[in-house]
């Protein structure tokens, strides 16, 4: 059984799907669908939340979304019968996650262009960071310099581009910036990123950590 991951190629927030199975796991229930617009937790991004509604009007809240192999599991508040359903995610959390994940890609590119190799990234609200190791020739990066670069890239309104290779690896980039393997969600263009970005940097044992957030978004 495989769940078709519509979020990889679409910005849709809702769709019709077939609920294939629903079973209990601990205090909650797991809904397995043939396809979904919900992004599961992983790749430094939280899982989406929202709701599933049957054609008879029965509704369950999607409390969390996670992945188990090729199956995307929707953790729901109550059991639902199998069949055709409508699924809709919570718009604001998804929008926030997409903005923060996209910012992480931009910061990764800024670091790479200045001699810093991105190693790890985490895009959860209030925890966002990208960690770099130095290459042969590095340019010192502080909060002010990074914000200058970000302001330029946001104003350039660069379109998000993605492609998936034959082995299933999906690459995501913006404009002519370097693309990286990524299974996350992103803004359609960098112009959708708010201007009130907050950045802090920390250099420890030669490695650079850049923390970031959007004011009022975490």
- Same domain for 78 and 120? no
Q: Where are the alpha helices (DSSP H) in the chain?
A: 91-113, 143-155
Q: Give the number of other CB atoms < 10 A from CB of residue 152.
A: 12
- Same domain for 49 and 9? yes
Q: Please, what is the average pLDDT of the chain? A: 95
DSSP state of 43: T
Percentage of the chain modeled with pLDDT above 90: 93
Last residue in a domain, options 39, 67, 89: 89
- Same domain for 210 and 139? yes
The answer, yes or no, to whether residue 215 has pLDDT greater than 90, is no
The answer, yes or no, to whether residue 136 has pLDDT greater than 70, is yes
Q: Report the C-alpha gap between 72 and 69 in whole angstroms.
A: 8
- Same domain for 113 and 207? yes
For 67, the domain range is 4-89
First to last CA, the chain: 36
- Residues 40-79: pLDDT tens digits? 999 899 999 999 999 999 999 999 999 999 999 999 999 9
Q: Report the C-alpha gap between 22 and 14 in whole angstroms.
A: 20
The SS3 assignment for 98 reads: helix
Contacts (Cβ under 8 Å, ≥6 apart) of 91: 13
- Same domain for 144 and 100? yes
- Same domain for 120 and 81? no
- Same domain for 101 and 193? yes
Residue 177, pLDDT score: 97
Comparing CA positions, the residue from 188, 164, 176 lying closest to residue 102 is: 188
Joined tokens for residue 137: 């020739």
Q: Give the number of other CB atoms < 10 A from CB of residue 130.
A: 25
- Specify the CATH number for the domain of residue 44: 2.40.30.130
Question: What is the domain count for the chain?
Answer: 2
Strand partners, 33: 19
Q: How far is CA 217 from CA 7, 71, 88, 101, in A?
A: 22, 30, 21, 13
- Same domain for 98 and 85? no
The SS3 assignment for 198 reads: strand
- Same domain for 166 and 77? no
Give the pTM. Answer: 0.94
Last residue in a domain, options 89, 110, 139: 89
- Same domain for 18 and 35? yes
Q: Mean pLDDT throughout 112-116?
A: 96
Last residue in a domain, options 56, 89, 122: 89
Q: Report the C-alpha gap between 109 and 122 in whole angstroms.
A: 15
Residue 85, pLDDT score: 98
The answer, yes or no, to whether residue 32 has pLDDT greater than 90, is yes
- Specify the CATH number for the domain of residue 154: 3.30.980.10
Residue 1, pLDDT score: 78
- Same domain for 72 and 41? yes
- Residues 155-207: pLDDT tens digits? 999 999 999 999 989 999 999 999 999 999 999 999 999 999 999 999 998 99
- Same domain for 177 and 70? no
Comparing CA positions, the residue from 42, 35, 41 lying closest to residue 14 is: 35
Residue 162, pLDDT score: 95
């Amino acid at each position: 059984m495989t769940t078709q991951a519509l979020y990889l190629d679409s910005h849709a927030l809702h769709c019709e799907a077939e609920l294939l199975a629903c079973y209990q796991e601990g205090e909650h229930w797991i809904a397995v669908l043939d396809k979904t617009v919900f992004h599961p937790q992983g790749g430094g991004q939280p899982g989406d939340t929202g709701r599933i509604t049957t054609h008879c009007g029965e509704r369950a809240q999607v409390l969390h979304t996670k992945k188990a192999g090729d199956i995307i599991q929707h953790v729901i508040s109550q059991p639902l019968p199998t069949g055709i359903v409508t699924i809709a995610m919570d718009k604001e959390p998804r929008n926030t996650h997409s903005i923060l994940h996209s910012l992480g890609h931009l910061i990764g590119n800024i670091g790479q262009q200045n001699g810093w190799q991105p190693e790890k990234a985490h895009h959860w609200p209030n925890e966002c960071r990208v960690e770099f190791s130095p290459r042969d020739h590095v340019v010192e990066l502080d909060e002010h310099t990074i914000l200058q670069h970000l302001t330029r890239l946001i104003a350039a309104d660069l379109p998000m581009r993605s492609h998936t290779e034959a082995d299933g690896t999906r690459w995501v980039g913006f404009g002519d910036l370097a693309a990286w393997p990524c299974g996350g969600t992103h803004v359609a263009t960098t112009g959708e990123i708010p201007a009130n970005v907050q950045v802090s940097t920390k250099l420890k044992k030669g490695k650079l950590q850049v923390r970031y957030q959007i004011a009022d978004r975490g």
